[in-house]
Amino acid sequence: MTALIVAVSLLIGVSLGILGGGGSILTVPILVYLAGQDTKEAIATSLFVVGVTSLAALIPHARAHRVRWRTGLLFGAFSMAGAYAGGRLAEYIPGTVLLVAFALMMLATAFAMLRKPRKGARKAHRDLPVKHIAVEGLVVGAVTGLVGSGGGFLVVPALAILGGLPMGIAVGTSLLVIAMKSFAGLAGHLSGVSIDWGVALTVTVAAVIGSLIGARLAGRIPQDALRKAFGWFVVIMGVFVLAQQLDPGLWTHPATWAVLGGAASVAVTVRLRRRSRTARPQPVPRVRQDATPR
């Protein structure tokens, strides 16, 4: 069993090194179903594993100049506040509810990964407005602290689409953000959860080795093919975790509906924002009149 945990932990690091996310999506199920940890202990441990692994993967990306430090530090700072609050809130929510929320998060992430990129995406980099960084950082950070998800697949699209960063730079910058908010979320959990440091360090060492391999491979593997393959893997994992938690009594718990209601509100808000952007009238290009022939 230990060998299997180490082997899958390598995939955690490879995913973080190549895609800038996905580590915690694998870490929590590994710790729950392979290491036999309690849900809340697994979430707290995953934050430690993903935080350390992200720092290790950040080094080769930084050496290759694939990190936007200003954007990453600002986004990470707001995410840390949200992650700490989410970590403290998780203490009062049943572990089963957290796993259901985590499974739904996995499926939403997989959907985002499998979607085709929108045509006409901006290529040039511009600094994100501080208000956008604040809102998205707080939301992504809260998700990190609440369900143990590093949020890399939320950070990378935000940096690539809203900030106009190239995919490689968005991946490198997201590792800085993930490390910052993972440690903040861990701090929020430590007040009510104890960690098995033997298991945590074993998984972390294997994940760090995988992250260094993944960072080396970044840019050499077709990103679209890799993202689709990993997306379908996340779908399978999400369905599996959700199926394990289908207890009829779960749906009578007030916290379940609070989490689902919050997730639905966020989804509707994002959808409306996207529609309002696409509905904006596009400027009509001015047609130059031909000069009157002499």
**Which range has the worst mean pLDDT, 92-106, 156-170, 185-199?**
156-170
- Would the pLDDT of 163 be above 70? no
Q: How confident is the model at residue 201 (pLDDT cuts 50, 70, 90)?
A: very high
Q: Which residue stretches of 163-222 are H helix?
A: 167-189, 197-217
User: Which of 136, 214, 216 lies closest to 181 in space, CA to CA?
Assistant: 136
- Low-confidence winner among 34-38, 67-71, 222-226 (lowest mean pLDDT): 222-226
Distances in Å between the Cα of 40 and the Cα atoms of 47, 135, 172, 177, 245 are: 11, 26, 29, 22, 15
Residue whose C-alpha is closest to residue 186's, from 159, 172, 204, 209: 204
pLDDT given at position 115 = 73
Q: How does pLDDT run across 235-273, given as a tens digit for each residue?
A: 887 787 788 776 655 555 565 566 556 656 655 555 555
CB 133 within 8 A of CB 183: no
- Strands in 125-276 per DSSP E: none
> Are 72 and 134 spatial neighbours (Cβ–Cβ below 8 Å)?
no
- The full set of domain ranges for the chain reads 2-272
Position 148 scores a pLDDT of: 63
Question: Cβ contacts of residue 8 below 8 Å, gap of 6+?
Answer: 26, 30, 34
Residue 119 DSSP label: T
Which of the two residues, 108 and 7, has the higher pLDDT score? 7
Give this prediction's pTM: 0.66
| Residues whose CB falls within 8 Å of the CB of residue 268, separated by 6 or more in sequence, listed in order | none
pLDDT value for 56: 87
| Token pair in block for residue 181 | 């908010």
Q: How many whole angstroms separate alpha carbon 247 and alpha carbon 251?
A: 8
Query: Distance between terminal CA atoms of the chain?
Result: 88
Give 108's Cβ-side CA count (13 Å radius).
Answer: 18
Percentage of the chain modeled with pLDDT above 90: 5
User: What does the pLDDT read at residue 209?
Assistant: 92
Q: Is pLDDT at 290 greater than 80 in this prediction? A: no
Residue with more model confidence, 197 or 147: 197
Judge whether residue 118 has pLDDT over 70: no
Whether 136 contacts 74, CB under 8 Å: no
Q: Is 242 helix (H, G, I), strand (E, B) or coil?
A: helix
